Each structure stands twice: as structure tokens, then as C-alpha cells.
Structure 1
Amino acid sequence: MKVLITGGAGFIGSTVASACVDAGIVPVVLDSLVTGRREFAEGRPFYEGDIADGALIDRIFEEHPDISAAIHCAALIVVPDSVARPLHYYRENVAKTVALVEHLQRKGCPRLLFSSSASIYAPGADFSVDEESRLDPLSPYARTKLVTELVFKDTAEATSLRVLSLRYFNPIGADPSLRTGLQTPEPTHALGKLIQARAQGIPFRITGVDWPTRDGSGIRDYIHVWDLARAHVAALLRFDEVVPLDGPRSYEVINLGTGEGTTVRELVAAFESVTGSPLPVEAAPPRPGDNAGAFSRTGKAERLLGWRPELSLEQGIADTLTWFDRRASVLGA
């Protein structure tokens, strides 16, 4: 099997590509390198360019006519940045995806896995959600994910395209073989900020301490990126069972989470446990676009994909720390 992975030189896309390689699936990587790293595509067929570039898509399929599916991981993802530049996010995440899908249809690629986000949910009273929970995205970034899902759903109902939208919760960790990890030296998510605070000897800022959670800090479902990558392989292998060619549904949604909610304060405690040293914290206001968060009610992924997460929160923290210790030698920067 051969698959096209857009954004395949980014954090998640490159890890998915590594899991594909390990499973005997050939990943063909397309990435603009706006945030991705060329090093993450080494040893894999790689094309540098834009997902909306029809001539480039034509070239990829001419050189790899046996591509049978696409995994769409390319997107801008920084919530505060999306608040400041909403049109930029709608152009990059939605408009260019529409062009990509048109090109994929022209080339006869009928299977698409979409990297969606659990940030589109309106959490329940206990902050847990499943695939049927109400949707209420609170940032332009999250809304681009929902709008893109609607584009896929409408297109799948009207054409031969079949789509699996995989709604991620909060990926942490790195490829256990350390082939890839977070490409940016200063990530904006909580674990990245914890690592920066520890390295700089400054307090970690908990952005938002008055949420209606058990300790006032935001709650998240932290899933190891390798578990996410394994889920993509399972989705590829079971795609035609989950979304059959002549079945009643051409579009399906599956959550990828651990089923456990972890507050930011609990994340700090786990981080201290892994590092073996305390870390001072200080309260700060929520960032633009922040919300209390959510965690997944699991079941559908195991039922449809035969997949369940295997790696713990502490393992994700440890692998992230190991990656940052090795990052400069891997990336040279």
C-alpha cells in the first residue's frame, strides 16, 4: 500500500509516516516546510510544495500512480495566532483543502483520512465527549477544522470520495525510535511550556485557573503521538470496512483519545514525577481562544479500528523530554 501524507514533515504527519513505514506502507510526503522539517522526510519520497498546487499533485500521482489513500495532516494549529489572523487560517486550512480535494478527485484517489480536532466539541458537564456530542468550536483554528469536516461530509455524500475524520485530543511524546518529534524549539502547548520553564529556571504559567474543573485549571486528554500514529495505520488497514465503497455511509468520525482527563495542575505533578524535581507555577489569565477543555469517551475507535491507546501520560512526558535532549543532534538547530 502507498499513501500520500500532506504535512508529512510535521510533528504528527512525520510520526504517522514512520508508523506506516514500520507497517510496510509506503508514505509519499507532501509538505510546504512552513512548519515542517526536511529532515523528517529523509528516506521517504518527498515533494516540497503547497497542497493547493494542482500541477504538483499531478506530478506526484504521475510518479506514484499506485497511491490508494491520502492522509491530510497539513494545517496551521496555533490557537492565539488564529485569533489574531483568522483569514490566514481560513485560507490555509479551509480554502487550500478544498483545492486539494478537487485535485485528489481528479486523480481518482477515493480514500481520505483527515486530521481533525477535539477542539470543536462543546464539553458535557463532566468535560467528557464522544462523537455525538454537541459541537461548539471557540477559536478560528477550531472552526477551520469544523468547516473542513462539513466540506468533506458534503463532498463524500455527493461524490465517490470516502472520508474518515479522526478527531485528535492533545498529542504529546515523540516517535519512540526518535526519528521525529516536535519540530519547533518553543512549542505553544502546555508540555512544551513546562519544558521551557524548567530549562530557563522560571515558573510555569497556568493560563486559566478559574475554569469549572476539579482544580480550576483546564482539562485535556493527553495522548501519545505514537498511539495516534498507530491509529492511522489501523484506519488505513480497515478503511474499506469502516467506510465501505457501496455502504450506507461515506463519511465517518472517530475520536482518538485516552478516555482520561488530566488537568494542567495534574500535568505539572506528572511532569515533576518524571523529572524528579519540583517546578514553581504561577497563575495567569487564559490565552485568546482558550477553553476549559475536554477528554474523550472511548469505545468507537476500538470497535471500528481495533485500536486502543497503550502509552501512558508519564511515557509521553518522558519521550518528549528525551526528544528535546536529542533534538539539536537530529535537526542541527
Structure 2
Amino acid sequence: MKVLIAGGAGFIGSTVASACIDSGITPVIVDNLVTGRAEYVRDRLFYEGDIADGALIDRIFADHPDISAVVHAAALIVVPESVAEPVRYYRENVAKSLELISHVTRNGCDRYLFSSSASIYAPGADFTVDETSALRPESPYARTKAVMEWVLEDCTNAYDLRVISLRYFNPIGADPKMRTGLQHAQPTHLLGRLITALEAGEEFRITGTDWPTRDGSGIRDFIHVWDLARAHVEALRRFDEVLPAEGSKRYDVLNLGTGTGTTVREFVAAFRRVADRPLRVSDAPSRPGDVVGSYTRTDKAAAALGWTPDYSVEDGIRHSLEWAALRPSILGE
């Protein structure tokens, strides 16, 4: 099997590509390297360019007519940045994605995995959600994901296209073989900020401490990026079982999480245990775009993909710390 991975030089896309390779699937990667890294696509089939470039996508399919599926992982993902730059986020995550869908369908590829986000959910009373839960995206980033899900569902009704939207919860960790990890030196998400504070000897601030959770901090479903990547491999392998080519159903969604809710305070405590170094912590107001969060019920993904996560929160923290130590030498910084 050969698959096109849009955004395959980024954190998620490159890890999915590694999982594909380890499973005997050949990834073909397209990435404009705005946030992705050339080091992550070394020795891989790689085309540098934009997903909206029709001539480029046509050339990729001409060079690789045996591509049987697309994994769409290309996106901007920083919530506070999306609040400050909504036009940029809608342009990159929606407008250009529309162009990619057009190029893919024109080239006759009808299997499409879309990287969506659990940030589109309205949390339930107990903070759990499943694929039927109400949606309430509260940041421009989250809204771009919700919009694209609606777009893709509409496209499956109009074109020869089948789509599975994979709603990610909160990825942590790195490729356990340390081939790839977070490409940014100072990531803005929780684990990245913890590592930055630890390395700099600075105080870590828990942003948002008056949410209606068991300890006042937000709640998340932290999933190891390698477990997330394995789920993509299973979705590719079982695509025609989930959405048969001759079936009436053309669109489906699957939540990818662990099924366990971890509060921010609990995560910070786990980080301290794994790092085994002093870390000062204080409370602070929530940031623009922050939400209380949620965690998923996992029955549907387990049944559809035969998949369950293998790694723990502590494993994800440990691999992230290992990657942070190796990152400068791997990326030449």
C-alpha cells in the first residue's frame, strides 16, 4: 500500500509516516516546510510544496499512480495564535484544504483520512464525550477543524470520496525510536511549556484554575503520539471495512484518545515524578481560547480499528524529555 501524507514533515504527520514504514506501508509526503522539518523526510519520498498547488498534487499522483489513500495532517494548530490570526488560520486550514480535496478527487483517490480535533466538542457534564456528543468549537483553530469536517461530509455526498475524520485528543511523546518529535524548541502546549520551564529553571504557571473539575484545573485525554500513529495505520488497513466502497455510508468519525481524563494538576504531578527535578508551580488565569477540556469514550475506535493505546502518560512524558535532549543534535540547532 502507498499513501499520500499531506503535512508529513510535521510532528503528527512524520510520526504517522514512521508507523506506516514500520508496518510495510509506503508514505509519499507533501509538505511546504513552513512548520515541518526537512530532517523528518530525509530518505523518504518527499515533495516540497503547498497542498493547494494543483500542479504539484497532479505530479505526485502521476509519479505514484498506486497511491490508494490520503492522510490529511497539514494544518496550523496553535490555539492562542489562531485567536490572534484568524484569517491566516482559515486560509491555511480551510481554504487550502478545499483545494487539496479538489486535487485528490480529480486524481481518482477516494480514501481520505482527516486529522480533526477533540477541541470541537462541547464537554459533557462529566467531561466525557463520544462521537455523537454535541459540538462547540470555541477557538478559530477548533472552528477550522469543525468547518472542514462539514465540508468533507458534504463532499462525500457529491463526489466519489469516502472520509474518516480522526478526532485527536491531546498528543504527547515522540517516536519511541527517536526518529521524530516536536519540531519546535519552545512548544506552546502544556507538556512543551513544562519542559521549557524545567530547562530554564523558571516557574511553571497552570493557566486556568477555576474550571468545574475535581481540582479546578482543565482536564485532558493525553494520548501518546505513537499510539495515535498506530491508529492511522489501522484506519488505512481497515478503511474498506469501516466504509465499504459499495456501501451507503461515505463519512464517519472516530475519537482517538485513551479514555482516561487527566487534569492539568495531575499531569504536572506526573511530570515532576518522571523528570525527578525541582519545578516551581503557580496558578494563573486562563489564556485566550483555553477550554475546560474533555476525554473520550473509546468504544467506537476500539471496535472499528481493533486498536487500543499501549503507552501511559508517564511514557509520553519520558519520551518527550528524551526527545527534548536529543532534538538540538538531530535538528542541527
Do they fold alike, i.e. is TM over 0.5? yes
Q: TM-score range by the shorter chain?
A: over 0.9
1:229 alignment partner in structure 2: 229
**What per-residue deviation string (whole Å, max 9, x for no partner) do you get for residues 281-328 of structure 1?**
111111111110011111101100000001000000000000011001
How much has 1:277 moved relative to structure 2?
A: 2.8
Amino acid paired to 1:241 = E
How much has 1:279 moved relative to structure 2?
A: 1.6
* CA distance, structure 2, for counterparts of residue 109 and residue 103 of structure 1: 9
Amino acid paired to 1:131 = E
Amino acid paired to 2:310 = E
Residues 266-281 of structure 1 aligned to structure 2 (within 5 Å): 266-281=266-281
1:260 alignment partner in structure 2: 260
Amino acid paired to 2:227 = D
Residues 48-59 of structure 1 aligned to structure 2 (within 5 Å): 48-59=48-59
2:170 alignment partner in structure 1: 170
* CA distance, structure 2, for counterparts of residue 149 and residue 293 of structure 1: 20
SS at match of 1:16: helix
How much has 1:87 moved relative to structure 2?
A: 1.1
Amino acid paired to 1:105 = T
**What per-residue deviation string (whole Å, max 9, x for no partner) do you get for residues 201-257 of structure 1?**
111110101011110111100000000000000000000000111112100000000
Task: Verify: 1:240 aligned to 2:240, yes or no.
Answer: yes
* CA distance, structure 2, for counterparts of residue 216 and residue 281 of structure 1: 15
Structure 1 gap ranges (5+): none
Once the two structures are overlaid, the 10-residue window that deviates more, 279-288 or 174-183, is 279-288
How much has 1:258 moved relative to structure 2?
A: 0.3
Aligned-pair RMSD on alpha carbons? 0.6
Residues 34-49 of structure 1 aligned to structure 2 (within 5 Å): 34-49=34-49
* CA distance, structure 2, for counterparts of residue 23 and residue 180 of structure 1: 17
2:129 alignment partner in structure 1: 129
1:118 alignment partner in structure 2: 118
1:187 alignment partner in structure 2: 187
1:149 alignment partner in structure 2: 149
* CA distance, structure 2, for counterparts of residue 330 and residue 296 of structure 1: 34
* CA distance, structure 2, for counterparts of residue 276 and residue 81 of structure 1: 32
SS at match of 1:223: strand
Amino acid paired to 2:295 = F
Task: Verify: 1:198 aligned to 2:198, yes or no.
Answer: yes
The count of residues paired between Structure 1 and Structure 2 equals: 333
Amino acid paired to 1:181 = G
SS at match of 1:149: helix
Structure 2 gap ranges (5+): none
* CA distance, structure 2, for counterparts of residue 244 and residue 286 of structure 1: 44
* CA distance, structure 1, for counterparts of residue 246 and residue 66 of structure 2: 22
* CA distance, structure 2, for counterparts of residue 194 and residue 91 of structure 1: 31
* CA distance, structure 1, for counterparts of residue 285 and residue 157 of structure 2: 43
2:97 alignment partner in structure 1: 97
* CA distance, structure 2, for counterparts of residue 80 and residue 275 of structure 1: 27
Amino acid paired to 2:3 = V
Amino acid paired to 1:2 = K
* CA distance, structure 2, for counterparts of residue 60 and residue 222 of structure 1: 35
Q: Runs ≥4 in structure 1, deviation > 4 angstroms?
A: none
1:63 alignment partner in structure 2: 63
2:5 alignment partner in structure 1: 5
TM (norm. structure 1) is 0.99
* CA distance, structure 2, for counterparts of residue 98 and residue 142 of structure 1: 17
SS at match of 1:253: strand
